[in-house]
Each structure stands twice: as C-alpha cells, then as structure tokens.
Amino acid sequence: MIAETQEVIPALEVHNLSASYQRKPVLWDVDFQLPQGKLIGVVGPNGSGKTTLLKNIMGLMEPDSGYVKLFGEDLEKVRHRISYVPQRESVDWNFPASVRDVVEMGRYRKNRLFKRLKAQDHQLVTEALERVNLLELSQRQISQLSGGQQQRVFIARALAQQADLYLMDEPFVGVDAATEEALLELLTEMKNAGKTVVIVHHDLQTAYEYFDWTVLLNTRLVAAGPQESIFKKELLQEAYGGRLTVLSKIGDLMARKDFPARETGFKEKEGLGDG
C-alpha cells in the first residue's frame, strides 16, 4: 500500500503581482512560490522592485493587480507568524525609546497591545539581545546607537517575535564585515530550526555562499529557484545588463565563488522608496 504524501504549503506565494509609484511600474506580473525552511535572497539592480515586493507582501501598499498568500492564507490570518525588518533609513530613530523597548515590541500581539508582558516574554527579549550582542546596551536610547547597532536592534526585535517567516530589507547595510558574518550565521541557525528567512540583498558573493534560494528581479521576475539554477551568466545578464561591470567574467567568478563584493551606488532612489 502506497502512503499518501502530505502536500507542503509554500511559505510565500506571489501571484501576478503588479505595483507602481505615481503610475510608474515598479513590479510587473511577478509570480513565484518560496518553500518553507530556506534562507532566500531577493536580488536585482537598483529600482528593480525589491523593497516594493516586500511592502506589498506586508500590506504596506496596495498592488495594482495580483495577490499574495503566506502559508496558504491571507496576511491578516497569519500576521503573528510574520516578522518584517524594514530598511533602517525608513525609521524615525529619534523616537524616545530604549533598545529594550524596541525589542519588546516583538512580543506584543494585535489582540494584546495593552497587556503587560510576562516573565517568559522578558526572557525571550533578553535572549534576543544576547544573540545580536546588544544586551549591554539594552537601556541606551536608540538615537544614540550607530547605524550597525540600530540594524541589530531590529533583528533582535524580529527574533523576539519568534515568527515563522522573516522578511528583511537590506539588514546588513551599515554593519561591518564581522557583524554581517555573525548575523548571517545567526540567520542560518534560524533556517536550520525550520524558519524561513527572505532577505533583500546586494552582495552577490554572500548571496551565493549563504542563501539556498534566490529571487532575481528587474521589475519583472527574471527567475526564482535554488542557487545553482539562478546564478548563471544568462540570467544575471538579463537582470543586471551592463550594470554588472564584470559580467563578461561572471562564469569564471562563479567557478571560484568570487563575485563582486557589492554593486556600487545601491542607495535608494529618492522618491521611489525602493531598492
């Protein structure tokens, strides 16, 4: 007798998604699915729609068409299972809150915003601060932190939330190389524990070395799938065109796992709000 195999629900489904800013298309008919328990990169050139994609997934902007499913459900049904880390530049860091205050926000739920946190919540907050090496700064005002420290505060808040799907928009901007490596190891641990982590990222080398899957965007979806099926010269050329200056050598570079460290000039375009 053949046992029935249980269907595995994707962590994230994006179907025929189109979105625009001031009538300028930023995403056009994007459609893909992502599996659970993977470390996934969203990569592409400036203005390719990466941040817009995350904003549409999180319901922070209305798409022109299409829809998103998370674990087979609409966002509102599973919001407690989703954690979102926005770009650091999009946050008012002068808000009067301590590091611990911000991380504690990860322990509040929509239906218990005004309830006091329990001892278990405080313990989870402490553990999250320890994992990003910020426990000693827990009472410091967030405005007094460096850019890299502020980024780690947001990651700690996401950890404290204990979500199943993490969406992170450029979490390594402003952190030094050692901190980036430590955070990548932490995110790999989360993946190994069954979490799904989706990261907008510009560093092709670390994307290739650390991520399991890649979503390659340039307004349209170029490709989405496991690393070995995405990091091919023809797909990268379709996504980056002439902007990837070492494209002619990309085959040799891939063979040596030696990608350009970071695409230059990747700061958000003013007014687009997108990476």
* pLDDT tens digits, 235-266: 988 998 865 554 444 555 555 655 544 544 44
Confidence of residue 176 (pLDDT cuts 50, 70, 90): confident
Q: What is the mean pLDDT of residues 93-119?
A: 81
164 located within any domain: yes
210 located within any domain: yes
Q: Give me the domain span that covers residue 27.
A: 12-255
221 located within any domain: yes
CA distance 202 to 65: 27
CA distance 98 to 150: 11
Own/partner long-range contacts of 251-259 (Cβ < 8 Å, ≥24 apart): 254/208, 257/205, 257/208, 257/209, 258/205, 259/203, 259/204, 259/205, 259/207, 259/208
Question: What are the tokens at 218?
Answer: 């340039």
CB atoms within 10 A of CB 185: 10
Contact in structure between 36 and 8 (CB atoms under 8 Å): yes
* C-alpha closest to that of 237 among 257, 224, 251: 251
CATH for 195: 3.40.50.300
44 located within any domain: yes
261 located within any domain: no
268 located within any domain: no
245 located within any domain: yes
Structural domains counted in the chain: 1
* Residue-wise pLDDT tens digits, 71-93: 999 999 999 999 999 988 778 77
pLDDT at 62: 94
pLDDT at 4: 53
266 located within any domain: no
* C-alpha closest to that of 43 among 181, 239, 247, 183: 239
| 178: amino acid identity, one letter | A
Reading phi first (left if > 0) and then psi (alpha if -120 to 50, else beta), residue 66 is in left
pLDDT at 252: 55
Question: What are the tokens at 76?
Answer: 């509102």
CA distance 197 to 63: 23
Q: What is the pTM of this model?
A: 0.85
